[in-house]
Amino acid sequence: MKLGKLKALAKERLPGKWIFFLNVLRTLAKGHSAFIPFKATYNEDGLACSKNTPFLEDARFVAAYGNAVGKHLYVDANVRWRCHVACWAGSMAMQLEGDFVECGVNKGFLSHILMDYLDFDRSGRLFYLVDTYQGFDGRYLSATERSRLVDYASATESDKPWEMGMYEPCYEAVVNAFAGFKGARIVKGAVPDVLPEVQAEKIAYLSIDMNCVAPEIAAIEHFWPKMAQGGVVLLDDYAWPGHEEQLAAMDAFAQRAGTKILCLPTGQGLLIKH
Ligand SMILES: C[S@@+](CC[C@H](N)C(=O)[O-])C[C@H]1O[C@@H](n2cnc3c(N)ncnc32)[C@H](O)[C@@H]1O
């Protein structure tokens, strides 16, 4: 019987899992690596993988994460790998001189975990937490961002102003949540207007997470010259679907700055000042 006929017959008669198994054997026989099905031990925030998450056994990380969850500071409480990346970036930044900045804080989930994890106050640095604490500023949105927010408000039949998006006013909550950190400096207002209020001369860690392109580019343009050599910039939305304008604008910025952004499996982007 010809090979083609044999294949057609197998397809017709054999159950799907046998076809899959035979294909794996055929791929291995050809010397290629085969896709081996795995049981995910980590499956959240759009990322599934198996047995490569030692940070989940790190007691300091688990405690810091648990504290922020306990204070209800999250938008989504299942973003542990993203927070692990921030903790790594923050740990590297602690080796350098300079303050920390986050633009796009909301209730402070990421930054609270980081300050806790790093025992930040022992370093004597400042951590600037910049946000409107009441959602987006319509003056700084692109046409696409604006219409997405307007559509979201009407689809959810929200009675909040459309600029609020999925967020709630949260300034007082953030003041309370960070009251225990001497180094926290809460800056309320829209980026780019309030950028001069961040009085850091040198910055070791910058997190950008405002979900809108113009303020994010204004922030990185403003802070890049102040970044310490080896300083880390973390871009929360970099490769996420729906954030293509940010991706294109950040890549263009990186090119102007003579550098390149590392795209992480979490969808974050990572940039080191050299
Ligand atoms: C995705 S949330 C930040 C989440 C935060 N990093 C966390 O750990 O939970 C985006 C935040 O960006 C803020 N934001 C949006 N546009 C802004 C602007 N032009 N200036 C300052 N904050 C802005 C919103 O108020 C919102 O709190």
| CATH code assigned at 222 | 3.40.50.150
Do 148 and 81 have their domain in common? yes
Do 235 and 198 have their domain in common? yes
106 in ligand 1 pocket by Cβ < 6 Å?
A: yes
Nearest protein CA to atom 11 of ligand 1, as residue: 104
Do 99 and 15 have their domain in common? no
Nearest protein CA to atom 24 of ligand 1, as residue: 135
Q: What is the pLDDT of residues 63-114, one digit of tens each?
A: 999 999 999 999 999 999 999 999 999 999 999 999 999 999 999 999 999 9
Q: What is the pLDDT of residues 208-253, one digit of tens each?
A: 999 999 999 999 999 999 999 999 999 999 999 999 999 999 999 9
Tokens describing residue 243: 């954030």
The alpha carbon of 199 and the centre of ligand 1 are apart by a number of angstroms equal to 20
Atom of ligand 1 nearest to the CA of 106: 27
Q: How far apart are CA 19 and CA 12, in angstroms?
A: 10
Do 33 and 149 have their domain in common? no
Sequence-ordered list of residues with C-beta below 8 angstroms from that of 136, at least 6 positions apart, any chain = 145, 149, 163, 164, 165, 211, 212
How confident is the model at residue 194, as a pLDDT?
A: 98
Structure-derived torsion over alpha carbons of residues 184, 185, 190, 195, reported in degrees to the nearest 10: -120
Atom of ligand 1 nearest to the CA of 109: 8
Do 162 and 210 have their domain in common? yes
231 in ligand 1 pocket by Cβ < 6 Å?
A: no
**Sorting pLDDT into bands at 50, 70 and 90, what band is 51?**
confident
Atom of ligand 1 nearest to the CA of 214: 19
Do 113 and 12 have their domain in common? no
How confident is the model at residue 121, as a pLDDT?
A: 98
Do 172 and 251 have their domain in common? yes
How confident is the model at residue 255, as a pLDDT?
A: 98
How confident is the model at residue 231, as a pLDDT?
A: 98
Structural domains in the chain (count): 2
203 in ligand 1 pocket by Cβ < 6 Å?
A: no
Do 32 and 97 have their domain in common? no
Do 111 and 28 have their domain in common? no
Atom of ligand 1 nearest to the CA of 110: 8
Q: How far apart are CA 274 and CA 262, in angstroms?
A: 14
The alpha carbon of 36 and the centre of ligand 1 are apart by a number of angstroms equal to 40
246 in ligand 1 pocket by Cβ < 6 Å?
A: no
Q: What range defines the domain where residue 133 resides?
A: 47-272
* Burial of 178: CB neighbours in 10 Å, binned 0-12, 13-18, 19+: buried
Do 124 and 235 have their domain in common? yes
198 in ligand 1 pocket by Cβ < 6 Å?
A: no
Do 32 and 78 have their domain in common? no
Atom of ligand 1 nearest to the CA of 107: 9
Do 243 and 120 have their domain in common? yes
